[in-house]
């Protein structure tokens, strides 16, 4: 029997599972919308959809990246083999529990199963960072802990215990994911861009890093999160979102992504991050401009920033960490084009209510992650090209 390499490093199995789940969850959701699939979930289908995108898909992608990155940050060996399989199985158990939520599996046991993954991931991260003295990244553990709290809020709403917590749970996940993308993106995007320019014989200083702006942009996102927790949808929250939009737009412009247009693996990261200020702008305009759909910012952040950055990071890490060079696999440009089409179509649907645009968005999303599976599954399940472990 051929040997599987999926448990040799965290990104391998979690990226594969994330892409597979991204295809399945949207295919199921389109079936629900057309009436061809009926969920057993004993809750609102819309809440189920929000939960599985925010507390299913996102944590799987975060686990793949974070567990891999922590090995680089600390020099600690990453979880592999049985330990890694246990974490992946815990995440999968949550997805199965939510698929059978309130039907085959009663609400309370299903919630307990699903709620287990984020604390487990936070515990692994805390143990690794603390043991190896990496205090700088300990705030990421706090983000995971609050993420778990948001999951609990949404579960309490779905179970009918506290329906008013649904929006809190949804917004916490969105804001926390934005913070994670801002922190991690702020490290890797300018660093990767500068290195790429250096390899091209160009000046890496074209990519500007502004520490004060970085801190202000992150603090603005934290303020938006706090406002969403205390006064979601308020004008105060909207004003804070507009301030955050301006700061993150300045950050993106300072990185000068147009200098990296020669490399799709680079410009896709800039494009993905650019959706963050767009989403914040839409969020800020919503209470003041009736023409802006209330859900527009959610889709700009969810499909635009989250979807694009997940694919951008996965396509890069998959080749870089398997020693295959920083080269886009065949079909990679189609992946990037399709995820961009997905967000544009989803925003069109939010603005017009057109079901055709909604279905196009779903089909483009499925195609983008489906092509990733076809192009990158062989890489994820193959040994490193240089023969080294990992």
What pLDDT is stored for residue 223 in this prediction?
Answer: 97
Vertex 297: Cα angle to 293 and 303 (nearest 5): 115
Average pLDDT, integer, range 322-330: 93
Question: pLDDT tens digits, residue range 92-141?
Answer: 999 999 999 988 899 999 999 999 999 999 999 999 999 999 999 999 99
Query: Among 41-50, 134-143, 153-162, whose mean pLDDT is lowest?
Result: 41-50
Residue 270's closest CA among 340, 367, 371? 340
Q: Taking the CB of residue 60, how many other CB atoms lie within 10 A of it?
A: 27
Q: Is 232 a residue whose pLDDT tops 90?
A: no
Angstrom distances, CA of residue 344 to CA of 18, 275, 289, 352, 360:
22, 11, 20, 12, 10
Q: What is the dihedral of CA 174, 116, 154, 299, to 10 degrees?
A: 30
Q: Is 358 a residue whose pLDDT tops 80?
A: yes
What pLDDT is stored for residue 189 in this prediction?
Answer: 96
Q: Per-residue confidence at 390, pLDDT binned at 50, 70, 90?
A: confident
Q: Is 1 a residue whose pLDDT tops 50?
A: no
Average pLDDT, integer, range 25-43: 89
Question: pLDDT tens digits, residue range 241-258?
Answer: 999 999 999 999 999 999
Count the helix, strand and coil residues of the chain and give each as a percent rounded to the nearest 5: 75, 0, 25
Question: pLDDT tens digits, residue range 160-196?
Answer: 999 999 999 999 999 999 999 999 999 999 999 999 9
Question: pLDDT tens digits, residue range 193-202?
Answer: 999 999 999 9
Residues 155/111, Cβ–Cβ less than 8 Å: yes
User: Per the structure block, which two tokens stand in for 367?
Assistant: 């195609």
What pLDDT is stored for residue 285 in this prediction?
Answer: 97
Question: pLDDT tens digits, residue range 271-310?
Answer: 999 999 999 999 999 999 999 999 999 999 999 999 999 9
What pLDDT is stored for residue 2 in this prediction?
Answer: 52
């Amino acid at each position: 029997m051929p040997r599987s390499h999926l448990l040799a490093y965290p990104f391998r199995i979690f990226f594969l599972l994330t892409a597979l789940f991204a295809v399945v969850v949207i295919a199921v959701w389109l079936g629900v919308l057309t009436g061809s699939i009926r969920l057993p979930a004993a809750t609102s289908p819309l809440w189920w959809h929000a939960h599985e995108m925010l507390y299913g898909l996102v944590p799987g992608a975060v686990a793949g990246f974070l567990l891999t990155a922590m090995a680089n940050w600390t020099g600690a060996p990453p979880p592999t083999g049985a330990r890694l399989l246990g974490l992946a199985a815990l995440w999968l158990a949550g997805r199965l529990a939510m698929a059978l939520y309130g039907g085959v599996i009663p609400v309370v046991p299903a919630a307990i199963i699903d709620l287990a993954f984020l604390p487990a991931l936070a515990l692994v991260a805390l143990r690794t960072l603390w043991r190896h003295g990496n205090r700088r990244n300990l705030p990421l553990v706090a983000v995971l802990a609050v993420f778990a709290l948001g999951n609990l809020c949404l579960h309490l709403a779905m179970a009918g215990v506290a329906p008013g917590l649904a929006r809190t749970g949804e917004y916490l996940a969105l804001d926390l994911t934005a913070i994670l993308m801002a922190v991690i993106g702020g490290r890797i995007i300018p660093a990767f861009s500068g290195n790429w320019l250096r390899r091209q014989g160009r000046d890496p200083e074209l990519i500007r890093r502004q520490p004060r702006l970085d801190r202000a942009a992150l603090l603005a996102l934290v303020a938006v999160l706090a406002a969403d927790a205390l006064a979601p949808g308020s004008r105060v929250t909207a004003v804070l979102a507009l301030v955050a939009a301006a700061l993150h737009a300045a950050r993106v412009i300072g990185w000068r992504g147009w200098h990296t247009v020669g490399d799709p693996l680079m410009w896709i990261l800039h494009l993905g991050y650019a959706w963050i200020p767009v989403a914040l702008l839409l969020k800020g305009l919503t209470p003041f401009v009736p023409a802006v759909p209330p859900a527009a910012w959610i889709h700009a952040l969810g499909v635009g920033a989250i979807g694009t950055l997940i694919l951008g990071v996965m396509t890069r890490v998959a080749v870089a960490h398997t020693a295959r060079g920083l080269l886009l696999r065949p079909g990679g440009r189609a992946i990037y084009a399709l995820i961009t089409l997905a967000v544009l179509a989803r925003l069109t649907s939010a603005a017009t209510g057109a079901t055709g645009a909604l279905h196009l968005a779903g089909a483009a999303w499925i195609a983008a992650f489906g092509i990733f599976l076809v192009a990158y599954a062989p890489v994820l399940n193959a040994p490193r090209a240089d023969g080294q472990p990992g």
